[in-house]
Amino acid sequence: MRSAVAFDRFDLKIMVHLQREGRCSNVDLAESIGLSPSPCLLRTKRLQETGLIRGYSADIALEKLGEYVIVFSEVTISSHRPDDFRKFEAAAGKYEEIVECYNVSGGYDYLLKIVAPGVGYFQELMEQMLEDDIGIERFASRIVLRQSLDRRGYPLGIIATQKRWD
């Protein structure tokens, strides 16, 4: 179970707004959530210091850079000792094409989201991972044909309903 960090409804409003508009000014943020700028800035800094806000990033339009493919790969590792999981995760972290890696329950051990310049490149990447002997027993991959939904951020209001307000 993950430990929760204390926050209130104004903190939640700050987080919800910053998920949509990470580059907004503090004045605009304060106005949108109904606080004056000074306490809004203090709250935002506290949310960053506690790790509730981990950072800010740009949303890059990959299609404007060139051809690419997104692939979801289901990976089963050959052995299930803690060291084997650590070995696989450390190796996966070295491939910048692997943009997300989840240890999951079910019929396989990991779900990887991979972004590559093409199918051939992806195939070479998987062959390299198999050659690197990082414990992969088998993998199955799904190439994304099109993205039908793209939500930015998490459903904070739904998750936060589990919390009692301070």
What's the mean pLDDT in 88-106?
97
Average pLDDT of span 57-83: 95
Are both 115 and 42 inside the same structural domain? Answer: no
Taking the C-alpha atoms of residue 102 and residue 92, their distance in angstroms, rounded to an integer, is: 11
Q: Are 141 and 70 in contact (CB under 8 A)?
A: no
Q: What's the pLDDT tens digit per position in 40-49?
A: 999 999 999 9
Residue 37's CATH number: 1.10.10.10
Q: Are residues 122 and 82 in the same domain?
A: yes
| pLDDT value for 6 | 83
**Which pTM does this prediction carry?**
0.85
Q: Which 8-state DSSP code applies to residue 62?
A: G
Domain of residue 29, residue span: 9-58
pLDDT grade for 1, boundaries at 50, 70 and 90:
very low
> Beta partners for 139?
75
Q: Based on the structure, what is the number of domains in the chain?
A: 2
Q: Quick check: 9 pLDDT over 60? A: yes
70 phi and psi, to 5 degrees? -110, 130
Q: Are 18 and 24 in contact (CB under 8 A)?
A: yes
